[in-house]
Amino acid sequence: MGSINQYIELYNENHQAIARHSSAALNARREKALSLIDGKQLPHRGVEGFEKTSIEEMFAPDFGVNVNRMNIPVNVAASFKCDVPNMSTWMSYIVNDMFHVPANARNNMPSGVIVDSLNSPQSQNIVAQYYGTIANNADPAVALNTLLVQDGVLVYIPRGVKLEKPLQLVNIFSSPIDLMAMRRLLIVVEENAEAQLLICDHTQDSEHNYLSSQVIEVYMGKNARFDLYDIEESSKKTARYSRLFARQESGSNLLVNGMTLVCGNTRNSYDIDVVGDNCETMLAGMAIGSGNQHADNSSNVNHRAAHCRSSQLFKYVLDDQSTGAFEGSILVSPDAPYTEAYQSNRNMLASQQARMHTKPQLEIYNDEVKCSHGATTGQLDASALFYMRSRGISEKEARLMLMQAFMADVIETVRMEGLRDRLRHLVEKRFYGQQTLCADCGISCHDNK
């Protein structure tokens, strides 16, 4: 029996409780989601040659699900402080799968901006209009999320509003039992609006197994501008399957940067539909692996309109027995002349046991384009190591310096200076193997190697 069946049974036994704790807009899509997954299975294999990427295996364990919305105590104020130095943000957070917003988070926020639960009264009109309209609902993992999700976050930026400081969403795992959290984000940036969002994933209790099933939908109106930065610092017992779907209208500018610093088994997927002309799209990401950790990213950028430009840059540094995977695709339709699309995946293996799989792809149906892709996987530069050691730098120090330098251009894609500086600091600490990455947060990330 596939793992998806246990969740169908869970829904059938608890559908009244699930509906009772959810808004009408969320409940309206459940029966369709159930029909889409009934008799289906999650993929048994992900990237060829890596069993850790199997979605079926990620969902197979018998995780607890907080159907009755029990309030699991987490003293956020005492144990959590995820500020970025020199950068002020409007902060909210999700504890497991329940949304919370501090009382002062909305202070000085422009009129009409909504950062709230998908179930809140002020969210309902926007949720009813956009929820489930951008994601690929036929995908079994998306349908399963739609079937079981009970809460989520709406970020709504009205037409012409330009947020002066970033939004921040902190995802926290903490539970006395193994737990699966269904997380859902709906982001609507209307015409001529601008916003930046920083998402931070943390695991407070590293003794339990967790699974995050996350679906993010992003709608960008004409000439909208939106940055999404996603930083994962979890634990070796945390699995994450995150799918992002975005739709770009004419003249919009989208930047997505996903950074896996500490994980157990992580799979991120980005699907971007560029449906308006003169759009800009930037996808970037990094993954740092050690121990038996696994991280993979897949991307699909679909160009469906003229005069658009996209760029993808993903880098991995893998040590010990860690594994990584990247599959990236660019599709240029017949209706997308004068497209410029570029993709690069570069990987560094810091041990003989580390493994990387990469598969870049181009699918072009128009002659008036400029497109390229490339992928390289290698070890540390022996000549650079020799040069640094000949000048008195120890081999360990030289290796660390080369790995830090390797990630520099991914960090440079970040358009917030304070966050760029913070990332340089976190990447340095990650390579130096310090036990607590996010010391300012009070979250213990020890025993992750």
Q: List, in sequence order, every beta strand (DSSP E) within 249-394.
A: 253-262, 265-274, 280-289, 294-303, 309-318, 323-332, 339-349, 355-364, 369-378
pLDDT at residue number 214: 97
Q: What is the rounded average pLDDT for all residues in the chain?
A: 88
Percent of the residues in the chain that have a pLDDT greater than 70, as a whole number: 89
Bridge partners of residue 345, in order along the sequence: 314, 375
The whole-number pLDDT of residue 436 equals 43
Q: Within 10 Å of residue 380's Cβ, how many Cβ atoms? A: 16
How many whole angstroms separate alpha carbon 413 and alpha carbon 283?
9
Residue 321 lies in a domain: yes
Which domain does 252 fall in, by range?
A: 3-441
Q: What is the pLDDT of residues 14-72, one digit of tens each?
A: 999 999 999 999 999 999 999 999 878 777 655 555 544 578 888 988 899 999 988 87
In a domain, 447, yes or no: no
Amino acid 106: pLDDT: 66
Residue 248 lies in a domain: yes
pLDDT of residue 354: 93
Low-confidence ranges of the chain (pLDDT < 50): 1, 51-52, 78-79, 434-437, 439, 442-449
Reading the block at residue 80, the tokens are 């959590």
What pLDDT score was predicted for residue 268?
95
**pLDDT recorded at residue 100:** 84
CA of residue 315 relative to chain centroid, distance: 15
pLDDT of residue 78: 43
Q: What is the DSSP string of 122-169?
A: GGHHHHHHHTTSSS-TTSHHHHHHHHH----EEEEE-TT-B-SS-EEE
Is 449 within the bounds of a domain? no
Whether 176 maps to a domain, the answer reads: yes
Around 145, how many Cα atoms within 13 Å sit in the side-chain half-sphere?
Answer: 30
Q: How many domains does the chain have?
A: 1
In a domain, 359, yes or no: yes
**Is residue 448 a part of any domain in this protein?**
no
The reported pLDDT for the residue numbered 88 is: 85
Task: Write out pLDDT tens, residues 358-401.
Answer: 999 999 999 999 999 888 888 877 777 766 777 777 777 787 78
